[in-house]
Structures are given as C-alpha cells and as structure tokens.
Structure 1
C-alpha cells in the first residue's frame, strides 16, 4: 500500500501531558495504558516506556466490540506470552473491568511490597492512552459517574485530574501521541481510527487507503456492507462505487469523493462496516 502523505499531529497540550507524566510518575504505583483493539500495536505509545521507568504497566485493550474477535484474542495471547500484563475490555458495557481491577491490584501489591506506605493506603494508578482510545469512557465506567469528558474525537481531555475509587486512586492525563511517526503506516491507521484530528490529513487519500486494506483483508465484509464487488478494484474505484450507492453525486454524475470518504470513515469508526482489526500480531 502506498501512503501519499506524511501524517503527524503533536499539538501543544501533548507536550504539557508529557511533562505531567514525568512530574507525577514518582508517586504512581501502576500505569495503565489504554490501546485500541482495532490497532493494538499502532496505538501503543513508544515514548511511554522512557516516561514511566520501572513502574508496572497494564495494557488495556479497549473497543473490543469494534474489532475482529479472533485477532483480539491473538493479540492478548501475544502480549501475555511476551510477559506483558494485558486485559481486554469494553469501556461502554463494562466487560472485562473486573479482571482489569484484579490485574491492577496484583501489580500494585508487587510494587508496594516491602516499601513504606501508610496503613490502608490505596494504590495510585496513572491511566494513559492516545487520543480517542476510550480512556475517558473507561474512567466514567470505573467510577460509576461522569467524571471525565468523553467524545468521539481526539483532544477532549485537556488537564490532569485525580479520581478516588474504592480500590485505588486514579490519575487521568490527556491523550498523548509522539512527535513523529517513524512508520507512516502507523500514522495512516491512527488517522483511520480517529486518534488524529481529521483536519490534519487528506480524508479522501486516507479513505482510499482504508478501502484497499479492507478489500485485501475483509473483502466479504466490505462487499456485503455496500453491495459491491471489490475484487480487482483500486481504493479510488471502491470509494467511487460506494459514493454512487450513497448518492454522493455532483453535477454531471461525478462522485463527490470527499463526501463519500467522510461517510465511509464515519461508518468504519462506528463499527458499521463490521468488526475489523487493522494490526496483526507477529505470531
């Protein structure tokens, strides 16, 4: 697949978030990183390792309802087999939260053992993730009330906050990306899933790339959704086919590619095309 543009997005508040993590990590017992089940590896922040030091890390694979179930389980086994604590959750329904809490308790006990803490001290947990990973929805589900702003777009959370839960104290920080994507495929996938603001990239080019990927990996799902035959078609042809089906026509019967692309991207992000995973585990 050819990526026609370089995608990077690192607004000023993300620099502030990096500083917040550095300043507060010394009082944290466990770090929870929320990743997107549709792009588990692409949504992991490579900068995080240097920021959290030796703090135990729990990977929380969120949005499992939007992802390919079989591949999600492969990713879970991949992480566990590599020695990385991980759980699969659904921040909307609460699926997997009980196991998530148990993993946090276990990691916190290991961290706090033999160290000087006040009697009955609650573990301090920092929750991090890229924008639009579902972090705020997860926090609200854990707390049982709307303590964190949510939205289907990046950049909703803008400042740190402490949330007191029964089992632990939770520190929420804004979503954070990294300054430069070494692999443009990662930038492309994060654009598709909504981790990067739509104003930063060419929506039509990204959607063309998405359709090429879906035709290669999920052709039956794609064809059934839109009533088309994707075999042998280019991404551009597929966007045009969907545009005609959806009435995205301009004067002279020409397809409005931007309008068609916006429809496709919106439907992908909402899971209306199907349960799709764009990353594959290495084994």
Structure 2
C-alpha cells in the first residue's frame, strides 16, 4: 500500500505524517507516548479499512513524537492537531479523530474543553485510553501524593526539566514538569479517571459516536481492561483478547471492530 508523505508547519519546523486515499471524510490518527506513524503496525494496517469506505486516512506526528514525549505539552499537541485539521480537512470536510494511548487522551481533552475543532468531528476512535494519574503516579491516593511530593522536591533541587528518578517511574524518561502535570488529580491530563470509576462520566463530553478499544494485556490499564470497558455502557467499547497496549499481533481483530463501527456511521 502506498502512502503520501504530508507535512504541516509548526513552531520552527515541520511535522510529518502519512496519508492514504481521498474523500470528503478525513480520519486523523494521533500517536501515543514515544509514538509516531511508522512504528506501530496497527496504524498502517487500518488504512485499507478507511480507504474501502472512501475515507482519507492520515497518521500524523505531534510535537511529542519520538523523544519529544519526555516533555509532553497538552497545549502544543492540541495546537498541532488544529494545524493538521486545517491542512488535511478542507472546509466542509467531515473529520474522524482516532488516537492511541496519550493520543486518545488528547482527543478526550479537546472534547472536554469544547475546542472549536470538535465541531467538525463526526466520530471518535479511542485506542488504549488509560488513567495517567494512576499509571504514572500510583494506584492509591497516598501513593500518588507521596510520589508527587518526591518529584516536587526533585524539581525544586534540579529544575523542572530534570529527569525524574527511576524509582518513581522507570519505564522511560520523563521530565519533572511532565510527571507533575500528568499526575495532578483534576489536571489537564486527568481526562480518563478509571482509577475512580468515573471515566464514563468523563467521556460524556464527546457528543459524537465513539469507539473505545483496549487489549486484554494492556499494561497501562487500571483497573483491568475488562472492568474499564464494562463501565462504558454508552460507547462501542470492547476488549481484544490477547492484545497488548499497541495491539501488536491483533491488527486484523482491531480492523474488524473498526470496520463495523464505521459501517454503523453510514457516512
């Protein structure tokens, strides 16, 4: 399958993406942590699912692609998404927003804050949304508070751009500012509070048809993926058995679910 390289000016440079197909409906995929459009196989695997329905499909980089995730900025990502919509979806075109992991959280954030770009969105696809407060901070309020106090002290000593100690979070590098933003209860990243069981309420801001997909082996999910999905009674929500956070090896099963969802939209 052939993809077109697309770009959009952002900041002092360009952001890149890949696009396939054409049509008056444009689906935009947003990557997650350390993500991009060329490393997660499910991203390209979904292109035919959209193309078969006459939907232009684009997987685009945000400022946080690759190593940029060390210092995530919600506002920068939303601004970049706005730029991509303006570049790839001409006036009058319908938009589908698809996001994976932190990309899904950014889409939820845009809806919760009634961002103007959501007025053009016909459907939302959320892959592996998770609770960043629980994932980065801890499973209990006491653990979250203790870890945040440790990083606040670390940032005061070494600066907000310093990497946090691995004994607080060691799966990949994060700077102190990102950690404190991501673990703030009620903060800008706290858009899918599954730790408290209120993630269904958090999705009520999304006023278009919504698909939510998690893998049964998703390491970032808390509580277990099946428990998370069972609470989402008003969405097209499901668990793919045996799938990890990025659905590796389960791309066909994911494609079947997305196909059914798109068929239901009657675009």
TM-score bin (small chain): 0.3 to 0.5
Higher strand share: 2
Query: TM-score, normalized by length of structure 2?
Result: 0.33
- Where relative contact order (Cα < 8 A, 6+ residues apart) is larger, the structure is 1
Query: TM-score, normalized by length of structure 1?
Result: 0.31
Whose Rg is larger?
Answer: 1
